[in-house]
Structure 1
Amino acid sequence: MCDHGKSMEPEGEHSGNSPAGGRWRRRDLLRASAVGGGALLGGGALIGGGVLLGAAQSAPAAHSATVPSAKHAQRQRGLELVLLGTAAGPVPDPKRAGISSALIVDGAVYLVDAGLGAPRQFAAAGLDRSALRNMFITHLHADHLMSYYDFFLTAPGRPAPVTAHGPGPAGALPPKEQGSTPGTVDPRDPTPGLKDHTEDCHAAFAYSSNILMRSVGSADPRDLVDVHDIALPAVGASALGDTAPRMRPFPVMEDKRVKVTATLVPHGPVFPSFAFRFDTDHGSVTFSGDTRPTPNLVQLAHDTDLLVHEAVPDAAMQAPGLTGSHSRASHTALSQVGGIAQRCGARRLVLSHIGSGTSQPIDSPQWTRTVKQTYDGPVTVGADLMRFTVTARS
């Protein structure tokens, strides 16, 4: 695999467990609402029988973008990005599915986030569920997680288990923002990580799963996912302190196709929140996750072939009250994204996890012009089911 930047060995690890102590089993306080409406969008019939669709067959440049076509043959070699969903936020968007992206590396699929409708988009892109190898969740906001468990409720047949990587328990809740009036859901365990979230989903859907295993021979969803909470290097990060201190990228996983590294990024009070980089023999792709500008991302994405970055209109940053303060603490203004990509040395920039912040549709030409003021590479304002072929720089 290709190396980048400085050494990526972790400086240490912590378990991510709550200071209050160990886990306990709870059947009476399940967070079934975390799955939300996503299960309704991910019917098993939508996933079965697909094949991997390749990128454009004649791509003279280092990158090319296409839309799906049934005429494309399955690619057994190469690196391709598919934007499954590009919407920002948990409110359903009639024109965009929830945030989710798929990387196809030599025929194997690696999923980054699983927002609302991700299994449906996975099927619409012609991806084969049996080719899904790993899932990576940047953070545990609902809009990145709504349809995560759908992939195990609706899997056709008995595919090999998927390995899921994501944040561990935060360990503490931040104080409320001025003007907010929060309660505390599940006060005995209010900050579960991805592994605990998955166990709760198993329990929440126990009746459906138990019936379907007995009546139609469905797979046991517990056999379809192996969850790993990502261990953090000892850099002084915490839910009640600095959620994303300066740090070196650290390794998450590696197989024969891809090496995945990560860094913490600042996303308001959310902890942990990750950006991910995928290095392959064919090139590299970096996902910003949800973040305000941070040098951690610039270091992670140094010389990346393709940077997938979030963007919020500048006007949203000036909104009054909690909306504006959340945007400023958690996201990157459109006018800032180009400069970030330029400092990274990214060969191409793709905007995803986007929204206008108003009732007006996104003006893609205007967004592109804004970014190009500070970035001299190719820019694409992402749309659902766009595909990009990626090749390494020579």
Structure 2
Amino acid sequence: MSLSRRSVLRATAVTSGAAIGAPSAAAATAARPTTLPPASELNTGAHLVLLGTAAGPVPMQGRTGIASALLVDGRIYLIDLGHGAFDQFQKAGLSAAAVDAVFVTHLHSDHLADLFTLLWLRFGGVNALSHPVTLYGPGSAGALPAPSSGQPVATLAPDNPTPGLADFVEKSISASAYDINLRMRDENWPDIRNLYRVHEIAVPEVGASPLGEMAPLMDPFPVMSDDHVEVSAILVAHPPVFPSFAFRFDTEYGSVTFSGDTTITPNMVTLARGSDILVHEAIDLDIVKAAGLTPEQLQHHENSHADVTRIGPEIARPARVKTLVLSHLAPGSKEIPDSRWKSQAGKGYNGRVYVGNDLMHIPLGR
């Protein structure tokens, strides 16, 4: 199916008069979690695989860092690569040769901890990258916020204190040059620089800034398209990080929107409208408030993440999303039962709610 046809289908979904949060009969047979099938069964159709579902840079028992894979007719699109994502990629039986692109929502460590690992450990050898992978993500923020504590804080790399995605990858390669040079000479691995491209996503002129309004009301904008997907993005509010993107993938099998990290942001309704699946971050503020955090840490969580009780009625329902999948769970401990997450997210929303777990597989219907 052509991309233009896919765009028409998306527009139809957005403007249809379907009941809010009520999945269609056709959709009811799709978008249901299943056991992760053999990799060979993922080569046709479209499949969402949650590689990791935990929030934050600290590993949690039972969950690895946030990362998702969208497979479309055998091609792989990765959305964020948090800690442990590289191992999860292998456990899922996915092939690095099938990776076409990686999309980084924002430059927090828990979303790109394993990005360079994917390149570094798979630029040669077994199950290696076979063609250049395009990395899409933020450029430089351009400015640092004032310290939340009100006290002086040291500034690292004062000549370039807010490096973007291109600098992150380039500097990582430079720091790993000895190993890379050895493997190129000793094992005949290819030049790693020929196996990736970085595309820093330009922020549209909508009045957004790192020290002002980070996610003003706006329309989604195109990021990339190929024979399998159309990808669009929008700014979301995740202070103090700027820019922070949410991504939408439209395919002939359906649409999947990923919130990245964000508080409740009206732009999410705009981007996700009519999506078959919305993968949205969630925080249980009652548990977080009882965790003994510093005032600065608690303020960050309250200002920068989405209260699980508000996601259904304020995002999923008005966006007419068929299926809501909770991921990037904070706290990510498996000691918090899935039933608690599901009941809170489902208040005020009649669609399906699934609590994301590592290696969960959700097929999309045609």
- Helix, strand or coil: the match of 1:67? coil
Q: Quick one: percent identity of the two aligned structures?
A: 47
**Counterparts of 2:132 and 2:211 in 1: how far apart (Å)?**
35
The residue aligned with 1:220 is: 191
Greater per-residue helix proportion: 2
The counterpart of 2:169, out of the listed 195, 198, 204, is 198
Q: Which amino acid aligns with 2:115?
A: Y
Query: What amino acid is aligned across from residue 110 of structure 1 in structure 2?
Result: Y
Q: Does 1:311 align with 2:282?
A: yes
Q: Residues of 1 paired with 2:302 and 2:351: CA distance?
A: 26
2:308 aligned with 1:334: yes
Please list, as runs of the form range in 1=range in 2, the aligned pairs for 1:27-66 lying within 5 A after superposition: 61-66=29-34
User: 331, 349, 367: which one pairs with 2:324?
Assistant: 349
- Which of 1 and 2 has higher RCO (CA within 8 Å, sep 6+)? 2
Normalised by the length of structure 2, the TM-score is 0.88
Q: Give the alignment partner of residue 81 of structure 1, picking from 14, 35, 48.
A: 48
Q: What TM-score does the superposition give when structure 1 sets the normalisation length?
A: 0.82
Q: CA deviation at 1:318?
A: 4.2
Output the amino acid matched with 2:265: T
Distance 1:360 1:104 in 2: 27
- Corresponding position of 1:139: 106
Deviation at residue 317 of structure 1 after TM alignment:
6.1
2:365 alignment partner in structure 1: 391
Structure 2 unaligned spans of 5+:
13-26
Distance 1:328 1:249 in 2: 26
* SS of aligned partner of 1:195: helix
Q: Quick one: distance in 2 between partners of 1:235 and 1:334? A: 28
SS of alignment partner, residue 133 of structure 1: strand
Following the alignment from structure 2 to structure 1, what is the Cα–Cα distance between the partners of residues 45 and 106?
28
Cα distance in 2 for partners of 1:127, 1:346 equals 28
Q: Secondary structure at the match of 2:248?
A: strand
Q: Deviations over 1:8-37 (max 9, x none)?
A: xxxxxxxxxxxxxxxxxxxxxxxxxxxxxx
Q: Which amino acid aligns with 1:345?
A: R
Query: How far did residue 69 of structure 1 move?
Result: 4.0
Residue 221 of structure 2 aligns with which residue? 250
Tell me, yes or no, if the aligned pair for 2:62 and 2:334 is still in contact at 8 Å.
no
CA distance in 2, matches of 1:60, 1:301: 18
Q: What's the CA shift for 1:356? A: 2.6
Give the direction of change, closer, same or farther, for the CA distance of 1:93–1:179 in structure 2 (3 Å limit).
farther
| 8 Å CA contact retained: 1:317, 1:325 | no
Q: Does 1:128 align with 2:128?
A: no
Residues 99 and 129 in structure 2, CA contact (< 8 A), matched pair in contact too: no
| Cα 1:217–1:360 shift into 2, 3 Å | closer
Alignment match, 1:95: 62
The reply to whether residue 287 of structure 1 matches residue 261 of structure 2 is no
Aligned residues: 338
Partner of 1:154: 121
Q: 1:148 to 1:391 in 2, by over 3 A?
A: same
Structure 1: gaps (5+ residues)? 7-58
Partners of 1:286 and 1:379 lie apart in 2 by 14
| 1:364 aligned partner | 338
Q: Give the superposition deviation at 1:115.
A: 0.5
Q: Tell me if structure 1 keeps the 8 A contact 2:136–2:200.
A: yes
Distance 1:223 1:67 in 2: 36
1:233 is matched by which residue type in structure 2? P
Q: Residues 266, 153 of structure 1: CA spacing in aligned structure 2 closer, same or farther, 3 A cutoff? A: same
Flag the 1:294–1:158 CA change in 2: closer, same or farther, 3 A. closer
Q: CA deviation at 1:76?
A: 3.6
Moved more, 372-381 or 135-144: 372-381
* Poorly superposed stretches of 4+, deviation over 4 Å: 316-320
After alignment, is 219-228 or 311-320 more displaced?
311-320
